[in-house]
């Protein structure tokens, strides 16, 4: 039975239903949107239950021809990595919708329609196994996000929205050309037109074009991650976006970049991956340290969280490009963790922003006295973001560092300083916001978070501790997938090296034969 199609299109159908609800009935709109998000979540749980955790390769696949004349298929399938990201997406969507309950007052209908279309696009990206389909879902997300930032964002929203769209569009156009090149290359290799990722992966590509293709894909994904120095859109977009937008942006959209690396760029171009490992690793290390240092000097809590994302995503990239089982698995877990903890941080920032309409650290102080429950939640989430043992952050970062040390000691050493710096900026910020006396009289009247806000935060806190203490279910599901990716890269490179060695040997033999022939010829002429 096809479980993925309903999962992808449930939010889209919901968006269409929502479009017919009169825009005056805001409560109905919110209710319908929430119900649809919950249905999507339940569907994702079904998918989770259907998923065979021992099985390697793609599961729950669907493969139907779509545009036959171009060889485009509607090909879906998931492995452990995509499974976890899908569940993360559906969870965060519910929370994002709940968090917008009071903060969105203008254009309610448009907001929730955009949110639901966005969800469809995100789930689609994680399910697509056809490059063309992948590209379409990838681009579909762009427009709702543009509207979310541009209509419901902060004061500099227009600038942030256009910057976000142009950066992403630039990257994805490069990807489009690379996809087309692959498509024709495969035709000359196998005589069939296809965009099927699994088939394209089997194709050997000469080293030089492989480098170009890798660069094209890597740029598209690196902009999305965002890897230093392509991160400049991120602080603008994150800070200006409404809370729900920031949560989805940080929680899911950034993961698409790293997901693209592990699903497409790395397995499809193994030799190029090996070539670019040092460059990307260095960029990741720079991102880790740069992100942390810049976070430290931020005056606005939201931009602090935004820059900390740059640092955290640097960890994920470093893990992926350490290319060993521990690091890659750590990176995958860290993708989920970052979604949970940064999503929660943005939600918390949104909650105090709703009350005070400012996010400047200097405006706060002593919140622990007036908002004790809030401060407790804030503490847990912050510690998870730092990576304290028994929280989810620890599991991922530890594995990444372990793998990084294995790959190259220096990467590990520099990345580890990032962990320390993270503790510095987070704790310092927490101290300035929560501890001390209430200095600003406006803070005295603040009310603590209500039941709705607690309901939003509780699932995330539960996940933080659950993954921190018992990460086995995640490991079980991602392990075969990660093993397969690494094995594929190793095998392809091995096969190629063997082939080259054989070539060299035959060449040498031929040369040897040629020499002997010359000798005999000389002998004859003599």
Partner 1 sequence: MEFQLPDFDLRVMMPEIFLFLWALVVITFDLSTKRRSGAAVAYLAMFGLVITGILLAVAGTGAGFGAMFFNDAASIFFKVIFLGAAFMAIGSSFGLLRQKIQHHRGEFFGLILLSTVGMMFLASSNELLSLYIGLELTTIPLFVCAAFFKDNRLSVEAGIKYLIIGAFSSALLLYGLSLLYGLSGTTDLLQMRINIATTHLNFREIGMLPMISVIMLVAGLGFKLALPPFHQWAPDVYEGSPTPIAAFLSVGSKAAGLIAFAKIMINGLQVFYDQVMAPSDWGILVAVIASAAMIWGNVAAIRQANIKRMLAYSSIAQAGYIMIGMVALNELGMAAVSFYMFTYLFANMGAFAVVAIFEDTTGSTQISSYNGLAKTSPFHAASMSVFLLSLAGIPPLAGFFAKYYVFASAIKMAGAADDKSWLYWLVGVGLLTSVFALYYYANIIKTMYFTTDESPYRLSVASPGSAMVLIGLIGVLLFGLYPTPILEFAAGIPEALGVVVP
Q: Between residues 218 and 367, which has the closer beta carbon with respect to partner 1? A: 218
* Cβ atoms < 10 Å from Cβ of 339: 26
d(CA 485, CA 494): 14
Least separation in angstroms between residue 395's CB and partner 1 is 37
d(CA 184, CA 192): 9
Residues in the interface with partner 1 (CB under 8 A) total 34
- Residue pair 430/304 in contact by the 8 Å Cβ criterion: no
Residue selected from 41, 48, 111, 183 as contacting partner 1 according to rule CB under 8 A: 183
Q: Which stretch binds partner 1 (CB under 8 A): 62-70, 349-357, 368-376, 412-420?
A: 62-70
DSSP symbol at 53? T
Binding marks (x or -) toward partner 1, 218..247, rule CB under 8 A? ------------------------------
- Which residues, 6 or more positions from 441, have their beta carbon under 8 angstroms from its beta carbon? none
Q: Which stretch binds partner 1 (CB under 8 A): 132-140, 239-247, 375-383, 432-440?
A: 132-140
Decide: is 184 part of the binding site for partner 1 (CB under 8 A).
Answer: yes
Decide: is 135 part of the binding site for partner 1 (CB under 8 A).
Answer: yes
Binding marks (x or -) toward partner 1, 72..111, rule CB under 8 A? ----------------------------------xx----
d(CA 6, CA 165): 28
Decide: is 188 part of the binding site for partner 1 (CB under 8 A).
Answer: yes
Token duo for residue 282:
């260095």
Decide: is 165 part of the binding site for partner 1 (CB under 8 A).
Answer: yes
Q: Which stretch binds partner 1 (CB under 8 A): 46-54, 183-191, 330-338, 442-450?
A: 183-191
Least separation in angstroms between residue 143's CB and partner 1 is 6
d(CA 115, CA 489): 37
What is the chain's length?
A: 526
Residue selected from 45, 180, 297, 509 as contacting partner 1 according to rule CB under 8 A: 180
Bridge partners of 356? none
Decide: is 189 part of the binding site for partner 1 (CB under 8 A).
Answer: no
- Residue pair 214/126 in contact by the 8 Å Cβ criterion: no
Q: Between residues 166 and 495, which has the closer beta carbon with respect to partner 1? A: 166
253-292 residues in contact with partner 1 (CB under 8 A) are none
Decide: is 186 part of the binding site for partner 1 (CB under 8 A).
Answer: no
Residue selected from 20, 24, 27, 68 as contacting partner 1 according to rule CB under 8 A: 68
Q: Between residues 158 and 420, which has the closer beta carbon with respect to partner 1? A: 158
Considering only CA atoms, which of 183, 314, 294, 170 is closest in space to residue 239? 294
Decide: is 525 part of the binding site for partner 1 (CB under 8 A).
Answer: no
Distances in Å between the alpha carbon of 351 and those of 112, 137, 357, 457, 462?
Answer: 19, 31, 10, 11, 19
Q: Between residues 139 and 479, which has the closer beta carbon with respect to partner 1? A: 139
Only one residue has tokens 């602090």, namely 304
Decide: is 150 part of the binding site for partner 1 (CB under 8 A).
Answer: yes
Q: Between residues 192 and 507, which has the closer beta carbon with respect to partner 1? A: 192
Bridge partners of 445? none
Considering only CA atoms, which of 478, 511, 11, 24 is closest in space to residue 259? 478
Least separation in angstroms between residue 151's CB and partner 1 is 6
d(CA 300, CA 526): 90
Beta-strand (E) ranges in 290-428?
A: none
- Residue pair 274/258 in contact by the 8 Å Cβ criterion: no
Q: Which stretch binds partner 1 (CB under 8 A): 1-9, 38-46, 140-148, 390-398?
A: 140-148
- Residue pair 218/275 in contact by the 8 Å Cβ criterion: no
Residues that bind partner 1 (CB under 8 A): 67-70, 106-107, 135-136, 139-140, 142-143, 146-147, 150-151, 157-158, 161-162, 165-166, 169-170, 173-174, 176-177, 180-181, 183-185, 188
């Amino acid at each position: 039975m096809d479980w993925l199609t309903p999962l992808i299109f449930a939010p889209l159908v919901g968006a269409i239903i929502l479009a017919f609800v009169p825009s005056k009935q805001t409560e109905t709109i919110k209710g319908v949107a929430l119900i649809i998000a919950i249905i999507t979540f339940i569907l994702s749980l079904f998918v989770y239950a259907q998923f065979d955790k021992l099985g390697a390769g793609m599961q729950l696949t669907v493969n139907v021809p779509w545009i036959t004349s171009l060889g485009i298929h509607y090909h879906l399938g998931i492995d452990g990595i995509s499974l976890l990201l899908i569940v993360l997406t559906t969870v965060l969507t519910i929370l994002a919708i709940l968090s917008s309950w009071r903060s969105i007052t203008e254009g309610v209908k448009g907001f929730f329609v955009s949110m639901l279309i966005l969800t469809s696009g995100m789930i689609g990206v994680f399910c697509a196994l056809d490059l063309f389909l992948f590209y379409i879902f990838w681009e579909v997300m762009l427009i709702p996000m543009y509207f979310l930032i541009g209509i419901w964002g902060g004061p500099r929203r227009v600038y942030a929205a256009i910057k976000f769209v142009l950066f992403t569009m630039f990257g994805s156009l490069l990807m489009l050309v690379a996809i087309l090149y692959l498509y024709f290359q495969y035709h000359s290799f196998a005589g069939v037109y296809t965009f099927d990722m699994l088939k394209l992966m089997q194709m050997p590509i000469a080293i030089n074009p492989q480098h170009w293709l890798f660069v094209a894909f890597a740029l598209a994904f690196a902009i999305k991650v965002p890897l230093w120095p392509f991160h400049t859109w991120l602080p603008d977009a994150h800070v200006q976006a409404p809370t729900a937008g920031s949560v989805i942006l940080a929680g899911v959209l950034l993961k698409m970049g790293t997901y693209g690396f592990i699903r497409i760029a790395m397995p499809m171009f193994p030799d190029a991956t090996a070539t670019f490992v040092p460059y990307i690793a260095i960029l990741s290390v720079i991102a880790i340290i740069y992100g942390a240092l810049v976070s430290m000097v931020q005056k606005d809590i939201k931009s602090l969280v935004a820059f900390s994302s740059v640092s955290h995503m640097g960890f994920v990239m470093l893990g992926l490009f350490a290319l060993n089982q521990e690091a890659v698995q750590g990176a995958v877990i860290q993708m989920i963790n970052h979604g949970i903890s940064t999503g929660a941080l943005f939600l918390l920032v949104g909650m105090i922003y709703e009350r005070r309409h400012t996010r400047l650290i200097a405006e706060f102080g002593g919140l622990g006295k007036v908002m004790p429950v809030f401060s407790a939640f804030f503490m847990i989430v912050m510690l998870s973001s730092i990576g304290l043992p028994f929280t989810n952050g620890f599991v991922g970062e530890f594995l990444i560092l372990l793998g990084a040390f294995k790959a190259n000691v220096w990467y590990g050493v520099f990345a580890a300083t990032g962990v320390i710096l993270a503790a510095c900026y987070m704790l310092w910020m927490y101290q300035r916001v929560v501890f001390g006396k209430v200095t600003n009289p406006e803070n005295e009247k603040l009310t603590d978070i209500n039941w709705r806000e607690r309901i939003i935060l509780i699932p995330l806190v539960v996940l933080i501790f659950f993954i921190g203490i018992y990460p086995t279910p995640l490991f079980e599901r991602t392990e075969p997938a990660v093993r397969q990716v690494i094995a594929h890269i190793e095998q392809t490179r091995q096969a190629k090296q063997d082939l080259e060695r054989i070539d060299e040997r035959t060449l040498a033999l031929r040369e040897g034969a040629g020499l002997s022939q010359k000798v005999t010829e000389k002998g004859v002429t003599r």
